[in-house]
Structure 1
Amino acid sequence: MPISDSQKKGLRELLLNEKNLAVLLHLAKGATKNMCKTEDPEEALRLITTHIPDIYILLSKRAITKELLFTYLSKRGADAATDFSKADLIAKVIECWKDEHQPSNELSEGQTSSLLHKQSEEDYPIHTIARKFGEWFFDRFNADTLSLVDLWADAALHLTIIASDGINECKCSTAAEVLSALTSAKQQFDFYFNPNLTHAGIQGRMDYYGQFVVICCGTLHSRDSCVGIFECAFGLLQDPFADNNWKPKKVKCFLKSEVQPPELHYLCLSETLQKALELPIRTDDLNGLL
């Protein structure tokens, strides 16, 4: 997500203070690959917003800790539960900035009404359904409760695993084989899939055959450590015999181990989903299912 003017104001509040000045200067140095070692806070802020043009990537930097974000939210009286992840805090901070830094220009009654009813892209039904599906799928998958009835009988899978010992690929074309291949990979490597359920990590598209495509990414974890990333594309069709629920017909999954994996993974940085990101986005209610 590009850094908006309101988010730049929020970053100023977050970082341009005595307590977090060292974090700001560290970020500026890292953003310029140590080419610029400014001690001027205003210049440092300009550098990081110029060289790190995505607000999610910026707030995910290791220098911006969960404690820093939690303290910032607490001082503003925002509701930040103690059972949280860094991704949750980032989303909450961005939401606060959206609410606090709206343009203050006077608007006519008609303009105000239009602004209030204007729908942001991340709230399009196609993206809302994608997030609900992603949360549902990975909750079941991680809990080992995903079953054959959750897939189309002729579901197909293309699974690619890149590890230190090489590349493994698997293709199969029945629900039983798909479920077996996914489960085997998960158990073999003791993976836990942590999807990025923000708009920057999961979205919906429509392919040229009218199939609903969910594209998502996240990090792979083994026990208490992050060990890699994953990228998935699900081709979904509605099942009229299952309350018109969306079920995977095609699954493409890319798993990659990394020595220093990111704290969060983003669609804009994906290796395998760039073509899918170019597919059309529907703005209607997908046959009124929501």
Structure 2
Amino acid sequence: MSGLSETERAGFTKILSLMTKCDLLSLSDTVTNKMIVVENITEAKETILAFTKNAEELLRRKKVQRDLIFKYLATEGVAMPPNSEKHMLIKRTLELWSSVKVVDENPQGEAASSDVNCGMGFDPLVLGQQFCQWFFQLLNSQNLSLGQQPQDWGPQHFWPDVKLRLLSKAGSEQMEEFLGADLVSRRFLALTRDERLLFSPNLDPHGLKALTSPHGLVLVAVAGTIHRDSVCLGIFEQIFGLIRSPLDNNSWKIKFVNLKIRGQDALSGTDVAAPALTYNSSELQLLCS
């Protein structure tokens, strides 16, 4: 009976899980014209999905609020300007679902194996996009305010001697350094789980750069916005150094991270909507050497 594709169902399942019980029951009544009485949240979700003829119709419902769609897109690694109107968010969500290129849970491994097969055809930008989608989805899932099941975060995604440099400007400037997979992974966890931050990377060409060094290091630089709930707190720029791990199915692991965070008050007139990288290629090359 449902007119939704598998991808749309999976997407709506995430969006509906962000809704309150009261709104879910009300939405179920609306969708079924009160023909079906549901007993609990699970039944309400199933009923809503079963009686929905198409995805756009459901996204337009009043109870599917703008903020829910914004939050959902952020967890999927899709950056949208914080002031986007609901119709823009709906359009972007439908585009995302129609592209049906379901990102593998672990694009590191996927990117690694496809690269080996095509010899010289390795495109660092494709790896950069896949890596950022994977990394930020994983990191954002630790933020409990999204109501998502946290994914498998931990030191296993980093090299044992990984180094994190964290530079934050919000009023005053602070510089922190962390060494080792355990400390680095815990510092990231503190940002999302404890400080409830949400990272929304800008994967458009001006927000993402990637390049390789002759020694097998891939540099991925990305800019984006940082949110808490529906408030945009500022922007970030992050550079990852990735190296393959032959012991772990040749998957990519993080060797170093430079993270620069600027709060709204330190931005003074910068366009926050879709921040661009301020690093140029020659600065990145220096990091490769």
Q: What is the TM-score when the length of structure 2 is the normalising length? A: 0.51
Structure 1, residues 218-263: CA drift from partner, whole Å, max 9, x if none? 0001111111000011000001122111110111111111147611
Cα distance between partner residues in 1 of 2:282 and 2:82 = 26
8 A Cα contact 2:219 2:284, kept in partner? no
Which of 125, 130, 145 lines up with 2:128 in the alignment? 130
The match for 1:163 is 170
Q: What residue number does 1:148 align with?
A: 155
- Contact 2:224–2:235 under 8 Å retained in 1: yes
| Superimposed CA distance per residue, residues 124-169 of structure 1 (whole angstroms, 9 cap, x where no aligned partner) | 71100100000000000111232111111111111111112x1221
Is residue 230–residue 253 contact of structure 1 (8 Å, CA) maintained in 2? yes
Secondary structure of residue in 2 paired with 1:265: coil
User: What is the one-letter code of the residue matched to 1:131?
Assistant: Q
User: Residues of 2 paired with 1:163 and 1:278: CA distance?
Assistant: 25
Q: How does 1:52-63 map to 2 (within 5 A)?
A: none
| Structure-1 residue corresponding to 2:241 | 235
Q: Distance in 2 between matches of 1:193 and 1:236?
A: 19
Q: What root-mean-square deviation, in Å, do the aligned CA atoms of Structure 1 and Structure 2 show?
A: 3.3
Q: Distance in 2 between matches of 1:238 and 1:221?
A: 31
Alpha-carbon separation, structure 1, partners of 2:170 and 2:225: 14
- Contact 2:224–2:236 (CA under 8 A) maintained in structure 1: yes
CA deviation map 1:188-243 (0-9, x unaligned): 54210000112221221124654110111100011111110000110000011221
- The 1:66/1:208 distance shift into structure 2, 3 A limit, reads farther
- Which residues in structure 2 correspond to 1:21-36 (within 5 Å)? none
CA distance, structure 1, for counterparts of residue 230 and residue 82 of structure 2? 20
1:212 pairs, out of 213, 218, 240, with: 218
Secondary structure in structure 2 of the residue aligned to 1:279? helix
Write out aligned runs for 1:47-126 (5 A): 67=87, 81=91, 83=93, 125-126=123-124
Instruction: Describe the shift of the 1:275–1:81 C-alpha distance in structure 2 as closer, same or farther (beyond 3 A).
Output: closer
2:277 counterpart of 1:279? no
1:57-114 per-position Cα deviation (integer Å, ceiling 9, x unaligned):
xxx798x9775x79xxxxxxxxx846269xx7xxx9xxxxxxxxxxxxxxxxxxxxxx
Amino acid in structure 1 at the alignment position of 2:224 = G
Q: Are the structure 2 counterparts of residues 61 and 254 from structure 1 closer, same or farther at C-alpha, using a change threshold of 3 Å?
A: closer
The aligned counterpart of 2:273 is: 263
Match of 1:175 among 171, 176, 181: 181
Q: Aligned pair in 2 of structure 1 residues 84, 274: CA closer, same or farther (>3 Å)?
A: farther
Contact in 1 for aligned 2:82/2:232 (Cα 8 Å):
no
Question: What residue is the counterpart of 2:66 in the other structure?
Answer: none
Partner of 2:229: 223
- 2:224, 2:274 within 8 Å by CA — same for their partners in 1? yes
1:278 to partner: Cα distance? 5.5
Aligned-residue identity in percent: 22
Counterpart Cα distance in 2 of 1:238 and 1:124: 14
Q: Distance in 1 between matches of 2:249 and 2:139?
A: 21
| Aligned residue identity for 2:204 | T
Which whole-Å CA distance do the structure 2 matches of 1:136 and 1:230 have between them?
A: 17
State the alpha-carbon separation in 2 of the partners of residues 147 and 202 from structure 1: 24
| Alignment length (residue pairs) | 171
CA distance in 1, matches of 2:176, 2:284: 26
Aligned partners of 1:238 and 1:246 also within 8 Å: yes
SS in 1 for 2:206: coil
For the structure 1 residues 168 and 61, does the alpha-carbon distance in structure 2 shift closer, same or farther, using more than 3 Å as the test? closer
Q: For structure 2, list consecutive stretches of 5 or more residues without a partner in the other structure.
A: 1-80, 100-120, 143-150
| Structure 1: segments with no counterpart, 5+ residues | 1-59, 71-79, 93-122, 281-290
- Measured at CA, do residues 162 and 186 of structure 1 come closer, stay the same or move farther in structure 2, by a change above 3 Å? farther
CA separation in 2, counterparts of 1:84 and 1:197? 18
Q: Is the 8 A contact 2:162 2:255 kept in 1?
A: yes
